[in-house]
Amino acid sequence: AFSRKQVLQPTVLDLAEVAQGIAPMLQRIIGEHIELRLATSAPLARVRADRGQLEQVLLNLAVNARDAMLDGGVLTIATRNVIDASQRVASRGVSLVVSDTGVGMSDEIRERIFEPFFTTKEPGKGTGLGLSTVYGIINQSGGTIKFQSALGRGTSFMITLPAAEMVAVGDTPAIEEAELPRGTETILIVEDAEDVRILARRTLEERGYTVLVARNADEALEIANVRTIDVLLADIVMPRTSGPQLVAKYLATRPAPLVIYMSGYADDALTQYELDPSAVFLRKPFTPMVLARTVRESLDAMRGSTPVGTAAD
């Protein structure tokens, strides 16, 4: 994402509608101690972007804001048209501003904020990929991102996306949500990061799957004792017991499900883990579209006795 080489599926969107659609999930992620406010101007010009990627942007910024407001605060998401100074021409684009009332950032942190793998969190609590992913998504979408922050005064991210050229929402061919592959299998998600669990569960349940979730290997094995699992979707790097270790314990007493590993770590950082060559690899961050397709195509390939191998980046 940071290198701007991911595959996007752009459609013509209303940014306010995107924000309103993901707001309930964001509220669950940030917690009841933080107030979520939406300030949307209507009517907004449309933008051409990948909806799943924009949801990822809002998700990452919300998690970042939550971590800056441990004692509570306000997270505001605002949208408005960006108009030429002359006020005589159509909107040049749409502004998306995500602001928090958190602790803010020092000069040293501000200088490195979009740097991949830079994090102020303790080991095991953050990968340093959240804001660099946001940066890459916005740049690849043809937009710009700026920010303002000061210690004790919170942080605001100002995103501007170019307006689509006079295209109505229904006029652009798009891969609609309803067209994404569906299924009825049972999927167990094992992930210690709450935001990833919520996004993956929501995506797969909306596609018809039965979804079970676990925060760690112990919880996963307890669930597996009483439920039959078709797909084990497991993070590779987790506290105490890694994804591959979990799979080994699972297979010791149970039939083999389809295994899909997830990770946001670089390839060389994963060489210490003995990954099953038949397992599928899903690189984080992923969009709902990539997740839904990876699960469905991998299940179909396994049942067709076709080697799956490593897959979607």
**pLDDT digit string, tens, across residues 235-266:** 988 888 988 899 999 988 888 899 999 887 64
Cα 303 from Cα 281, distance rounded (Å): 18
Query: pLDDT above 90 covers what percent of the chain?
Result: 31
Sign of CA dihedral 64, 68, 72, 74: negative
Cα 132 from Cα 65, distance rounded (Å): 15
Residue whose C-alpha is closest to residue 96's, from 85, 81, 110: 81
93, 45 Cβ separation under 8 angstroms: yes
Residue whose C-alpha is closest to residue 134's, from 185, 59, 194: 59
Q: What is the number of other CB atoms lying within 10 angstroms of the CB of residue 179?
A: 9
Output the pLDDT for position 156: 92
Output the pLDDT for position 283: 80
pLDDT band at 104 (very low <50, low <70, confident <90, very high): confident
**Which range, of 169-173, 261-265, 295-299, averages the lowest pLDDT?**
169-173
Whether the link from the prior residue into 307 is cis, omega within 30° of 0, is: no
Sign of CA dihedral 7, 11, 15, 18: negative
Output the pLDDT for position 108: 73
Output the pLDDT for position 216: 93
Q: Please determine, for residue 3, whether its predicted confidence score (pLDDT) is greater than 80.
A: no
How much is the average pLDDT of 202-231? 93
Output the pLDDT for position 70: 87
How much is the average pLDDT of 92-114? 82
Cα 298 from Cα 280, distance rounded (Å): 7
Q: Please determine, for residue 176, whether its predicted confidence score (pLDDT) is greater than 80.
A: no
Output the pLDDT for position 11: 84
**Which range, of 186-190, 272-276, 281-285, averages the lowest pLDDT?**
272-276
Q: Please determine, for residue 309, whether its predicted confidence score (pLDDT) is greater than 50.
A: no
Output the pLDDT for position 231: 95
Q: Please determine, for residue 121, whether its predicted confidence score (pLDDT) is greater than 60.
A: no
Q: Which position has the higher pLDDT, 173 or 113?
A: 113
pLDDT band at 227 (very low <50, low <70, confident <90, very high): very high
236, 265 Cβ separation under 8 angstroms: yes
Residues contacting residue 245 through CB under 8 Å, at least 6 positions apart: 217
The pTM score is: 0.53
The residues that bridge with 155 in the sheet, in sequence order, are: 100, 149
Output the pLDDT for position 313: 45
Output the pLDDT for position 239: 84
Output the pLDDT for position 306: 41
Output the pLDDT for position 179: 60
147-163 burial, b at 16+ Cβ within 10 Å, e below that, comes to bebeeeebbbbebbbbb
Output the pLDDT for position 68: 87
23-53 burial, b at 16+ Cβ within 10 Å, e below that, comes to bebbeebbeeebebeeebeeebbbbbbbbbb
**Which range, of 4-13, 97-106, 224-233, averages the lowest pLDDT?**
4-13
Please, what is the average pLDDT of the chain?
A: 80
pLDDT band at 101 (very low <50, low <70, confident <90, very high): very high
How much is the average pLDDT of 17-22? 90
Cα 114 from Cα 133, distance rounded (Å): 8
**Token pair in block for residue 231:** 């797909």
Output the pLDDT for position 115: 67
Exposure of 61 in the CB half-sphere (CA atoms within 13 A): 31
Q: Please determine, for residue 204, whether its predicted confidence score (pLDDT) is greater than 90.
A: yes
Output the pLDDT for position 277: 64
Residues contacting residue 98 through CB under 8 Å, at least 6 positions apart: 58, 61, 62, 65, 75, 76, 77, 156, 157, 159
Q: Please determine, for residue 307, whether its predicted confidence score (pLDDT) is greater than 60.
A: no
